[in-house]
Each structure stands twice: as structure tokens, then as C-alpha cells.
Chains A and B, each alone.
Chain A
């Protein structure tokens, strides 16, 4: 149980385009999901907390107009990287909060490369 998926697993795009990443909790409902960014050999950096039916809460320094988050259902949150640039290239990971366990379970990550 507590399986979280992400799609796509890898994406390559051109500068200036937008990319949408999906995060799904497959066997449980999650009112709260989180989006992280991870650089090579570094730890996870929380970008935002996504709450179903309300606006996401962004961490300091994260541009909300750049990284659009939509949590439209109890099993799906999306992160859209708008007008992507090479510096946005990174490993993006989501997690979903399993309330009954009070624990975050992570997706497999999405590798974004912006050319």
C-alpha cells in the first residue's frame, strides 16, 4: 500500500515551453501533497505544499507563477513548470501524505531537462 506515481518519469523540452508533471496517490486519498526539487548529490528541497481544493503554499524563494500547482482531486496533484529554462533542469519529486499513518510517501521522481 501507499503507492505514489509520477508521470512522466523523464521529459526533455525546449527553453520557453511549459511542462506538466503529474503526481498520483494510487491506493489512498491524499488531501495534502508536497513537491520537492533535488539537485545532483544534494538533499530534497521542499518547493510547495499542495492542498486539495485550495491554493498551494510555496516555500520562500519559490516563484508561484513559475511553478504552478493544482491539486484538483484527492489523488492527483500537478506541477507545471512554465516558460522553462535550462536552470529549471532538475529532479522533481512529489510526496503524498497518508493521514492514517501521518507519513509522507514519495513518488519515483521526474527528471526534467530543458535544452
Chain B
């Protein structure tokens, strides 16, 4: 079946350090991947996306890497700030579908 999972449920990093959040997916037919950030009591916020014809995409302080060979997705956040503390979800979209399949989420805590 389809599943999207995360290697680590929690991650703590020092303010200013870089953080890497990992995600494994099982559906090799997925063609679109998204990272969302969710703060407590709020809806998910779009961070960055990547399509299956790419292996890297950069945004402001964030980079998403896609390794289709091992079905692995990662989110790199550079120079973390207190405001980066949140739960991060990866999501995949199976080819031809509109709906997303969400991973379990990783709680990122930034230590001062």
C-alpha cells in the first residue's frame, strides 16, 4: 500500500545550526512531493515542493532533496531560527491523483 514515513519523530537543534528532516516514501509512482510546516493549533503551511523530474530545489533557507532510487525525501533548513520550531510533514501525490498522502510528521525544536 501507499505510505509515507519519517525516520525521526523529534529533532532538536541549536539556534543557528542547520537541520535536516528526512522522509521515506513507498509509492514509486508518486510524481510530486511537498513539505508543510504546522505550528501548534494552526493549519499546515506550504514550505517547498519538488516534482519527480528534479532531484533538488532551493527556496529561502530551505532545500528539498529527492532521491528516487531509494525513495527518500529530505528537507534542509539553514541557520535555524526559533520560529522554525514546528511539526514538519512530508506529503506525496501519486501520479494521476489529486489527493496527498501525508507522513507522520517530525517535531523540530530549536534550542536557544
Listed in ascending order, the chain A residues whose CB lies under 8 Å from chain B are 2, 4, 6, 32, 34, 42-44, 46, 49, 93, 95, 97, 102-109, 111
Contact = CB atoms under 8 A, between A and B. Distances in A.
Given A43-B104, A44-B89, A103-B49, A49 B43 contact: no
Given A43-B89, A43-B103, A43-B104, A106 B45 contact: yes
Give chain B's interface secondary structure class.
loop
B77 to A, nearest CB: 20
Contacts, number: 45
Give chain A's interface secondary structure class.
strand
Nearest to B104: A43
A109 B102 contact: no
B36 A106 contact: yes
A97 B89 contact: no
- Between B34, B103, B105, the greatest number of chain A beta carbons within 10 A of the residue's beta carbon is seen for B105
Contacts of B98: 32, 49, 97
B34 A103 contact: yes
A108 B42 contact: yes
B99 interface: yes
